Structure 1
Amino acid sequence: MHFGLTEEQEMIISTTRSFVEKELYPHEAEIERTGHLDMDVVREIQAKAMEAGLYAANMPEDVGGAGLDTLSWLMYEKELGRANYALHWTAVARPSNILMAGTDEQKEKYLYPCMKGEKWDCLAMTEPGAGSDLRGMTATARQDGDDFILNGTKHFISHADIADFSIVFMATGEEDTPRGKKKLITAFFVDKGTPGFSVRDGYQNVSHRGYTNAVLEFDDCRIPRSQMLGEVHKGFDVANTWLGATRLQVAATCLGRAERALQHAVEYSAERKQFGQQIGKFQGVSFKLADMALELKAANLLTWDAGWKFDQGTVTESDMSMAKLKATEMLAFVADEAIQIHGGMGLMDELPLERIWRDARVERIWEGTSEIQRHIISRELLRPLGG
């Protein structure tokens, strides 16, 4: 097996890292202090990201994106992941790939404006009573002639406050399964400002300051059939086709933050002296560094392996779950050990470590909890044996 990077991948890494350090790092402290992302700052960075060819780099070339293969895209995500999440996600936006599932008319209305930085999208699946069990959702879309009428609530919807439209998944019927009745799901585009559709502030989150969540409420919200994404009852088909690599995206951004934390820990271990020598020479510290590097490399390899397989068409659900599980749990470990090495200074906001430590917590929950990832992995092991 060849593990070397191509010249293009090396360029993607160096260009993105340089952009992150120069354009994103300087704004982190203000966002962490205020919990607010200034949209003037977003527009300024957005223009620079477009000029650098980094904006919407996850999308295909034929719609104006960079057309990166999955592995190269994950390397790009890793470098962006070093910075405050609100900054890199909003200012260096990556529109949802699910927009590619739209009709030509829908692409004109929703996809291309996102590619140009004129609009933002958000994805709405989770409900107060339906998190990991998406087929248990209670929000509904009822057909009425050529329209659908939407009712229900979605929550934990990331950046919905700035999104110009939501891609909403609603129950449109039921089917019998060996485990009882399950909801049939359909996806819709819903524009902000549509009567019966409201967006209200969500919850204060310990992780990712400045990156907001919202509650979406639908009260007899009427939309035309033309705003249905895909076919009736086929919402999961659309999601599974176009959202397959989101777990790997989470894994990749965790790699970037873990690498930043480890770098701080190594530098501090070489500079800080106690009892007449560098603290890195004490076994209690040096072994921590070794374990941090080991876990980071293992997570890197699992993520790159899954990304490469994704492009070959050979990736399994287990491959992606292993990458997401390992990278998110590794980040928690590395962030915690980096703080331990720094002692009290690790918890001060002069360094990014306390932020990385806080931000790490949500990674084991969104895009499928660690428990869900373990369920997927074990199910793939047991299924061939009838388990």
Structure 2
Amino acid sequence: MDFELTDEQRSIVEVSRAFVERELYPHEQEVERTGVVRPDLLAEIRRKAIAAGLYAANMPEEVGGAGLDTVSQVLFEKELGKASYALHYTGVLRPSNILLAGTADQRERYLLPCVRGEKTDCLAMTEPGAGSDVRAIRTRAIRDGDGWVIRGSKHFISHADEADFVILLARTGPQDQDDERRPAMSIFLVDADTPGVAVHDGYRNVSHRGYTNSIVDFDDVRVGPDALLGEEGTGFELAGTWLSATRLQVAATCLGRAERALDLSVSYAATREQFGQPIGRFQGVGFKLADMALELRAAELLTLHTAWKHDQGTATDADYAMAKLKASEVLAMVADEAIQIHGGMGLMDELPLERIWRDARIERIWDGTSEIQRHIISRSLLRPLGA
């Protein structure tokens, strides 16, 4: 494997980093203190992201995206991840890659407007009784003539309050809730203004202020046959494709925040003096910095290796799980140690460390908890032996 970045990859890092520092960092304090991203600010960031060629960078060139390989996408996400999540994730949008499974008509109606910045999507999978166990989903889509009637409720749905349409995972059979078989699932594209769709305010979250979650109810929502994404009953497979990509995205953004926390800690340890010398010379601080750098490097190499394997078509579920697990847990460690090094100032909102520390907590929960990632990894080791 060649560890040297290409000229194009170095350019991606430089352009992304400059955009983050110039267009996102200045607004972080406002978002933290108000809990919202102003609509006019959001529109401005999106306009500038489009002009900089950073919008929908995860999409292939054939649909108007940047056509980045996966390693380049990880480098891109890492730079964006250094900034407030609400600013980079809602401002520099990356449409769900599950939309690439759509028909030509669905691409024209949903995917291409997202790439152009004319529409936004949200993914609705999680329910009050179905988190890690996707099989427990109770939202149903029932055949009605040549269309479907959808009934159910979803929660923790990110930025559903501003989305133009919902990418919905629903049961399409079997109807017997006591059936032990994996229920058939399908994915539907549902316009937010369809009668029966209701979006309610979600829960207040200590992580990622300004990044909203909502409750979305489907009360006898009728959709036509053209709402079905992919083939009926293939929802699990399509969702799996999406989850693998987002786990790498989560890993990459965790790396970015951890790197920012480490950089601040190194700078502080080199300039803050106690007992007549910089605190970095004390073993208690210096060893913390060494451990932070070591774990961050290991997580970065693991994530980049998984991205490289994805490009080669050899990445497994265990690879994605390892990257997400390692990066999210390293972020938690680095954020905590960064605050310890800064002492009382680390917890003050004049620095981004307390935000990074709070935001780190959700990364070990969403897109598959750390326990689920460990389960995936352990099963990959045991299954070949029949255990």
Question: TM-score over 0.5 for the alignment?
Answer: yes
Q: What amino acid maps onto 2:352 in structure 1?
A: P
Partner residue in 1 for 2:145: 145
Partner residue in 1 for 2:278: 278
Q: Does 1:101 find its partner at 2:101? A: yes
Q: What amino acid maps onto 1:108 in structure 2?
A: E
What SS does the aligned partner of 1:182 have?
coil
Inter-CA distance 82–345: structure 2 relative to 1 (3 Å threshold): same
TM score, norm. by length of structure 2 = 0.98
Q: Does 1:54 find its partner at 2:25? A: no
Cα RMSD for the two superposed structures: 1.1
Deviation at 1:242, TM superposition (A): 4.5
> Separation in 2 of the partners of 1:239 and 1:59?
17
Correspondences of 1:75-114 after superposition (within 5 Å): 75-114=75-114
Q: Does 1:323 find its partner at 2:326? A: no
> Separation in 1 of the partners of 2:103 and 2:332?
41
Q: What amino acid maps onto 1:329 in structure 2?
A: E
Q: Percent identity, please.
A: 66
Deviation at 1:79, TM superposition (A): 0.2
Correspondences of 1:6-21 after superposition (within 5 Å): 6-21=6-21
> Separation in 2 of the partners of 1:184 and 1:154?
18
Larger mean Cα displacement after TM superposition, 241-250 or 196-205:
241-250
Q: Does 1:218 find its partner at 2:193? A: no
Q: What amino acid maps onto 1:239 in structure 2?
A: A
> Separation in 1 of the partners of 2:327 and 2:89?
19
What SS does the aligned partner of 1:244 have?
helix
Partner residue in 2 for 1:68: 68
Q: What amino acid maps onto 2:268 in structure 1?
A: Y
> Separation in 1 of the partners of 2:242 and 2:89?
19
Q: Does 1:25 find its partner at 2:29? A: no
> Separation in 2 of the partners of 1:361 and 1:342?
19
Partner residue in 2 for 1:190: 190
Contact 1:169–1:235 (Cα < 8 Å) also in 2: yes
Contact 2:243–2:367 (Cα < 8 Å) also in 1: no
Partner residue in 1 for 2:155: 155
Contact 2:196–2:221 (Cα < 8 Å) also in 1: yes
Extract structure 1 runs of 4+ deviating beyond 3 A.
Answer: none
> Separation in 2 of the partners of 1:67 and 1:243?
19
Per-residue Cα deviation, 1:10-58 (whole angstroms, up to 9, x for no partner): 1000110010000000010000000011111111111111111111100
Q: What amino acid maps onto 2:343 in structure 1?
A: G
Q: What amino acid maps onto 2:359 in structure 1?
A: D
> Separation in 2 of the partners of 1:17 and 1:90?
17
Contact 1:258–1:334 (Cα < 8 Å) also in 2: yes
Contact 1:101–1:242 (Cα < 8 Å) also in 2: no
Aligned length: 385
Consecutive unaligned residues of structure 2, counting only runs of 5 or more, are: none
Partner residue in 2 for 1:41: 41
Deviation at 1:4, TM superposition (A): 1.0
Contact 1:97–1:243 (Cα < 8 Å) also in 2: no
Partner residue in 2 for 1:262: 262
Deviation at 1:243, TM superposition (A): 4.3
Consecutive unaligned residues of structure 1, counting only runs of 5 or more, are: none
